[in-house]
Structure 1
Amino acid sequence: MGLLMSFMGKGLPTTQMLNLVMGTLHSKFMEKDIRSFDDFHVAILDMFSTINAALPGKHYDVPPPKKVEEIFVKWKGAKDAEKKKLFIDFMKTSVSMSKFDDSILITGLVTPPAAMAAKRAGESLPQLKAIKVIPDVLFVPSATVLALISAKLSKKMFLGNVAS
């Protein structure tokens, strides 16, 4: 295994790859017609949407509107050569990986077995005769989705607007 890895070399040149990605993002960003802050913000959101759709795995969070507005003010007053540097610095400093929420993960793992147990227990009650009619294939995913939605909403209600 070690011999194979030694033939592969040092791996990807991360600085060169980062420069290539940033250059491509900047050229795509500059193709847009940006006249106001709203156009600038839409271009940033479109860029993040494209990145998150194209790359598998972890996603990136969009910077808050205040940061985007600050960079827009600097970007608008800068010359063309400085605009690229401002954009690249903004992307390097403001972009963060999306944080995965443990409560959502636990809810997603615990709900399907709990839904099956609840359905089996409900089938023996005469008041819930209708639950026998619902197939497991529909009951478990719908219960899981409802539990995930309620977990997400309760987190937003009780903890405020937390990025997740």
Structure 2
Amino acid sequence: MNYNGLLSTFPREIRLFIAVFVVILSIGFFTGLLFVKQTEATTPAGVEENYLGNEQDADATIMKFKKGEREMLTIVHTHILSMSFVFFLLGALVWITKLPKKWKLFLTIEPFLSVLLTFGGIYLMWIGITWFKFVVIFSGILMTLTFTFSSCLVLLQCLKKSEH
């Protein structure tokens, strides 16, 4: 079965449906990034402070406390589950775009690794392996880049004239 470029052969209405889905999915994804920015967890020190607290910092303007185990497990659990579904659905759409197989493989497998490294890394940092804050930032950036590229790829091919 040849699925490369299948998306562009779909009827206009189905491509519009997929495009709207990807736009709404993107709004949800990037709203999550706004939340990360709001919590000032975009730097290694900010990531560490967000989960481990800043009670020892007398100069802190906003007091943050170390997250409890229940809260950490909830954060890790919900994000790994929900992000897995996000990347599974987006990945299924990437596989029917017109793009070389190696690129598709990267764009559909890498996000799962980044999800694991980002949220597993947050947990490992929380239990005391603080250098994981660098892994969390790197994998989070890579996850965002692959999401953005994949979303744009699907949207552009949905908006292209049908080849059918």
Q: Establish whether TM, by shorter chain, passes 0.5.
A: no
Higher relative contact order (CA 8 A, sep 6+): 2
TM-score with structure 1 setting the length: 0.29
TM-score with structure 2 setting the length: 0.29
Indicate the structure (1 or 2) with the bigger Cα radius of gyration: 1
